[in-house]
Amino acid sequence: MCMVVDINTFAPVFNETCNCHPEFAPVKKWIETGHGFLVFGGTRYKEELGKAYRYLRLVRQMKISGQAIAIQDNVVDAAETEIRGRTAGSNCDDQHIIALLGVSRCPLFCSKDARSYRYITDRTLYPNGMQRVRIYSSSRNQSLLRPMQRNSLRYQA
């Protein structure tokens, strides 16, 4: 199975010295053991990731080792533009995440940002027929971490 990890959750997932790491350690283990993989892409997502240089390097290494899949930036950016129009006037600021989830048809999102959950789970913002997005927010969500075939992703870079 694949997962999009919110930038604000990279430290809890991948930094073992982070106070929140025990709650997100199952995600790291799930990826490292090959049962799941990280999905990333889009200009804004990569810009946010670039601000945390340590994690940008980590994602590059994960891509090389097959633990991460890049989705074409131009496809994610086009979807983000459409979602921005559909969410105009709301306090949604995660259109890039919704676009990445929708374009890749990735059903899992890892985040601590409860404010975004309302928009992330809004099925009207995703393509028809897409599986409902589930949110991993702590270790109580470990049951979401199941294996999946890698070839089910669209628009890989």
**Per residue in 48-84, pLDDT tens?**
999 988 898 999 999 999 999 999 999 999 999 999 9
- Helices 43-50 and 73-86 meet at what angle, rounded to 10? 100
Nearest-angstrom CA–CA distance, 79 and 100: 8
pLDDT, position 21? 96
The model carries a pTM of: 0.91
Token pair belonging to 93: 């600021």
The helix/strand/coil state of 147 is: coil
Least confident span in 14-23, 51-60, 90-99: 51-60
Nearest-angstrom CA–CA distance, 137 and 140: 8
Nearest-angstrom CA–CA distance, 83 and 53: 28
Nearest-angstrom CA–CA distance, 153 and 4: 12
CATH number of 2-143, picked from 3.30.1490.270, 3.40.50.1000, 3.40.50.1010, 3.40.50.300: 3.40.50.1010
> In the predicted model, is pLDDT for residue 152 greater than 80?
no
The DSSP letter of residue 140 is G
The helix/strand/coil state of 92 is: coil
User: In percent, how much of the chain has pLDDT > 70?
Assistant: 94
> In the predicted model, is pLDDT for residue 156 greater than 80?
no
List Cβ neighbours of 119 (8 Å cut-off, separation of 6 or more).
Answer: 87, 90, 92, 94, 98, 125
Measuring CA to CA, which residue among 32, 6, 2, 18 is closest to residue 116? Answer: 6
What pLDDT band is residue 157 in, cutting at 50, 70 and 90? low
